[in-house]
Structure 1
Amino acid sequence: MAEGGITVTIDDAEVRAGLARVLAQLGNMAPVMEDIGRTLGNLTEDAFQASGPGWAALRPVTVARRGSAAPILQVSGGLAGSITHGGDATKAWVGASKVYAAAQQFGMPQGYAGRTRRGAPIPWGDIPPRPYLPIQDGGLLPAAQSEVLAILTRALESAVG
């Protein structure tokens, strides 16, 4: 991941339990993890296509700066284009490599000057969270959890069937 990217670790007990069952039956988990990573990537792309149900509308000052109110998070396509996903024998992942990825996912208060352009505070106000990754409160969104559990169930059924 590029410098300034974000790493979020999910601790989802139900998914982890399903994964443990599959691991007990399978030797090579890479294909299953790749499938999970691809699914998480697809769910992320779906959020961009749907302009993230529940995303806060753009503020008038932002609309004036960019010239339109839509699509949200997609003026240049840079954030959506930075989404990566994958999997290997031990993990699956989805993420974004843009320096502003975390600010869009989790929001950022106006006074924050950490990794903003030239280290300056954001002059136009708070950035509200506009979650595009399929996570919430340290776990997978329900739709993502269902899809991951379905992948694990199919893998387990295939392994024991």
Structure 2
Amino acid sequence: MSTEAIEDAIKLVKDTTEVCSSANLKLHKFVSNSQKLLNTIPISERVSEVQVLDLLKDKLPTERTLGLEWCSNSDTIMFKNSMTTKSFTKRRILSVISQLYDPLGLLAPFTLLGKNIMRKACQSSVEWDEEVPSDIKTEWMTWMESLSDLKKLKISR
């Protein structure tokens, strides 16, 4: 969550922890881009990468959450993927497209291109496990190569 003032964030963590505790739920694995807030949270309740840091000297880690990466130092959201494809079938195209998790819709212009390729593959007469026609294959390979550009994308939270 985001708050305007650090005092509000400290109160939010305290109140949320108490509410969860009253329901016998342990809220833990905290991470924040604020070292002041992290200092108010017991070390044992912080995410493991933060537990070993010297908050005055060390950089805060990048955390993965819901398929996204959050760089707490720069407070940016990033996308990282390592998808490759060796086959050029409708089934593999659908698999790759569905692996791009984008809950905020930030990649929509990019994913729509992939979905358009999938639409063309479905309109072709090939079966799910047959290789798609060469024009679709070329378009797919170009789109797959552009996946590496996603790691350059950084969006301020």
TM-score with structure 1 length normalisation? 0.26
Q: Taking CA–CA contacts closer than 8 Å with sequence separation of 6 or more, which of the two structures ends up with the larger relative contact order?
A: 1
TM-score (norm 2): 0.26
